[in-house]
Amino acid sequence: MDALGWDACDVVLVTGDAYVDHPSFGMAIVGRLLEAQGLRVGIVPQPRWQDTTDVASLGKPRLFWGVTGGNMDSMVNRYTSDRKIRRDDAYSPDAAEGLRPDRCTLVYAQRCREAFRDVPIVLGGIEASLRRIAHYDYWSDKVRRSVLTDAKADLLIFGNAERALVEVARRLRDGETIDSIRDVRGTVFMRRGLPEGWAEIDSTELDAPGPIGPSTDPYASESEGEAPKTELVGIRRRTKIAAQRHDRAKTAVRLPSFEAVRDDAVLYAHASRVLHLEANPGNARALVQAHGDRDLWLNPPPIPLSTEEMDALYELPFARVPHPRYGDAKIPAYEMIRFSVTIQRGCFGGCSFCSITEHEGRVIQSRSEDSIIREVERVRDMTPGFTGTISDLGGPTANMYRLACKSKAIEAACRKPSCVYPGVCSNLDTNHAPLISLYRKARALPGVKRVMIASGVRYDLAVESPEYVQELVEHHVGGYLKIAPEHVAEGPLSAMMKPGIGTYERFKTMFDRASKRAGKKQFLIPYFIAAHPGTRVEDMVELAVWLKTNGFEADQVQTFLPSPMASATAMYRSEKDLLHGVKRVGGDLHVPKGLKMRRLHKAFLRYHDPENWPLLRATLQRMGRAELIGNGPGALIPRSQPAPGTRPARRGAPRPGTALTQHTGLPPRKDGSAKAGRKRKRKTRARK
């Protein structure tokens, strides 16, 4: 500030991440974007939160504080799915743990308010975005209020917030007050009463939560001495339907209040389902949810950025390195993406356990080919340590670049949660030709030796384009390709909104054929989730048998973590099937809860670990599946434990034509010896 001659910053941004001036970090994008508007921007990364010294170090901001938890929800960042503290933080220098508090958005906002009480506070980022409404918090096992109310902030901007952020900043600069800015899409604020000219619809008119018992019926209009009314599934009063004829742009949908969803899991599931129904920017209405005597008001989601806007955003003058204050310290998240390039945003997959669509939306926003190529050249010319390999051209998914609905009118009217479940929509353009062209131009650049694809490949889309699979396998896979079938049983797959395992098998056949044609020996590394809502122990047995039959021994496994706002989290909380309508009676969903049950599900994914064998033996015997206990090739686990200090021999063999692979990246053992396997494993760890 002294060098620039600034007496004050217009905006001070406070973030839970270390500051890396790279477009993969949200704070870097926000800072450069506001700077491009002519604003003086200061950034305070990972401040000490015990007092106001750090947040006040740049002085009083003229316009507003911008507060974010960083690239991840701070609770997801710090705690495992078993609620244990993680040993490191990928977004901190040298992966240091403990440099941000729990729910850091709340804490940072409180420190900002203490430092300069009269400066508006604007919340943003993934933590604020996914906690913008009353939400289930897995770590405290309760429904919490919107983060806006708990933080006592003035405004919350959700999703990809560039357009909203620029408008708010400009209007504040032009003299408007923060409490007068109420018409910006993608914003959340508190208010009292309905604005003039607006109509209101009760959320039960859009999606009835089923028969409501006489003990609790917040929707029944009762008079004194009158018995509570009930509403039946499929029966809606015509007076309610008439309310839907109001202008959508001037209609708000009232959700059950915070107090109601806190106390009633079915109403929580109902509110979550309606929120997801009102997620398409083309037809979404404002949402209202009472918090005490005031209303939380959520404007419709932001309109997706155009290709030209995306290009301008990602071509801002990023330094592409961490701030010099960190010296030689390594920031793992940066090390992972420093040679990568973002080519698109959004995901129309709609997986119920994923929060991408709640934050970035379902409409794919793609950059132009020329803009991407220019960034690859900047990586080549500017990034220290570049040796010729681009680590990724991707985004939330690897292969949704320029994919969209064939009709803009249909896209604007659609209310489906997914374009690819239960099958690929007939209105979806699945042409991978633009992506293939991009790959070819990127790897043809002088000084670029290889272009790898590290983002997750949506294989149910890839099978629609054999040419893409061949291009990917021949030029952009470094021996292993990670994909996510997540499960093999229909129960959990339907709750996840994922395709059946048959689609994975089809992709594997294409992958193997393409690898053979390219003269390469390459393997698929599938990822699976344990303890997801809708998963029974029988489903985990089926998955473990599938893994054993196909020769997979998973060293890294994922247990379902109920992240805020995801549909699967509402299923976890309510034990109701959100995907087929929320019902008071019926529609129940089996949800594995409790540490003991979740560990059992995880143990089936690691059926090959001797430490899990006693638990699995007892479970299989109790289930009447003793045929899976033994020493034959058809057994899942042996009858007895190995002697202490010994390594059990590998039992059985994979089916002919399948690859024996592990999540650590180990290829099949050529000599079958434990010594050779351990040596190869040490080399792999050293390389990582």
Which pair of tokens denotes residue 324?
A: 């010099």
Examine the domain organization and report whether 254 and 110 are in the same domain. Answer: no
Closest CA to 400 of 454, 452, 476, 457: 457
Q: Do the bridges between strand 294-298 and strand 286-291 make them parallel or antiparallel, or are there none, so unpaired? A: antiparallel
Identify whether residues 209 and 98 lie together within a single domain. no
Residues in CB range of 329: below 8 A, 6 or more apart: 93, 94, 322
Who contacts 249 (Cβ-Cβ below 8 Å, separation ≥6)?
A: none
Query: For position 235, what pLDDT does the model report?
Result: 27
> Span 265-275, mean pLDDT?
96
Residues 158 and 283 in one domain: no
Share of the chain above pLDDT 90, in %: 82
In tens, the pLDDT along 182-212 reads 999 999 999 998 999 999 999 988 887 754 3
**Coil, strand or helix: which one is 510?**
helix
Contacts of 224 (CB under 8 A, 6+ apart): none
Domain with residue 179: its CATH number is: 3.40.50.2300
Residue 423 lies in a domain: no
Q: Are residues 265 and 144 part of one domain?
A: no
**pLDDT of 686:** 54
DSSP per-residue codes, 611-646: GGHHHHHHHHHHHT-GGGBSSSTT-SB-SSPPPTT-
Report if residue 172 sits inside a domain: yes
Where in the sequence is the domain holding 265, given as residue range(s)?
A: 193-215+232-292
Cα gap 220→231, rounded to integer Å: 8
pLDDT over 80 (residue 230): no
Pick from 292, 322, 338: which residue ends a domain?
292
Residue 214 has pLDDT above 80, yes or no: no
Note whether 535 and 462 are within 8 A (CB): no
| Reported confidence tier of residue 223, pLDDT bands at 50, 70, 90 | very low
pLDDT at 229: 33
- Amino acid making up residue 631: N
- Of the three residues 292, 319, 341, the one that is the final residue of a domain is 292
The reply to whether 74 and 128 lie within a common domain is: yes
Residue with more model confidence, 106 or 358:
106
Let me know whether 183 and 103 are in one domain: yes
Residues 54 and 116 in one domain: yes
Phi, psi angle pair for 89, to nearest 5°? -130, 110
- Does residue 121 sit in the same domain as residue 34? yes
Q: Which of 292, 321, 344 lies at the terminal end of a domain, its last residue?
A: 292
Query: How many domains is the chain built from?
Result: 2
Assess whether 41 and 184 both reside in one domain. Answer: yes
